[in-house]
């Protein structure tokens, strides 16, 4: 359970920092870089979430299908 909370905070942190980076880059008119930064942040978080969901499915599988 401890690990789950850790990961939530990590995702939140990445979200905040990426949002800041996006605003800063947007303000000086580097829109393309801002979009790349946001995209990479999103992809990174997506990988994290995908691996966690994979864990969840494995667990469900082991509980319901195979003893």
Partner 1 sequence: MVKLIGAVFIIVATTVIGFEASRHLSDRPQQLRSLRSALQSLEAEIMYGHTPLHEAARRLSAQLSKPLSNFFDSFAKKLTDTETTVNEAWETSLREVWKSTALKKGEFEIMKQFGETLGRHDRFSQQKHIMLTLSHLEREEANAIQAQMKYEKMVKSLGFLSGLLLIILLF
Question: How many residues in the shown chain lie near partner 1 by CB under 8 A?
Answer: 15
47 binds partner 1 (CB under 8 A): no
Report the alpha-carbon distance of residue 62 to residue 64 in Å, rounded: 6
User: In the structure encoding, which two tokens stand for residue 18, read together?
Assistant: 């990426």
44 binds partner 1 (CB under 8 A): yes
CA 41: distance to chain centroid?
7
Nearer to partner 1, 19 or 60 (CB): 19
Nearer to partner 1, 27 or 67 (CB): 27
Report the alpha-carbon distance of residue 45 to residue 63 in Å, rounded: 27
28 binds partner 1 (CB under 8 A): yes
Report the alpha-carbon distance of residue 28 to residue 20 in Å, rounded: 13
Q: Which residues bind partner 1 (CB under 8 A)?
A: 10, 13-14, 17-18, 20-21, 24-25, 27-30, 41, 44
């Amino acid at each position: 359970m401890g690990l789950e909370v850790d990961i939530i905070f990590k995702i939140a942190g990445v979200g905040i920092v990426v949002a800041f980076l996006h605003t800063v880059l947007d303000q000086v008119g580097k829109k393309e870089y801002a979009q790349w930064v946001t995209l990479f942040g999103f992809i990174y978080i997506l990988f994290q979430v995908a691996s966690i969901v994979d864990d969840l499915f494995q667990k469900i599988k082991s509980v319901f299908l195979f003893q």
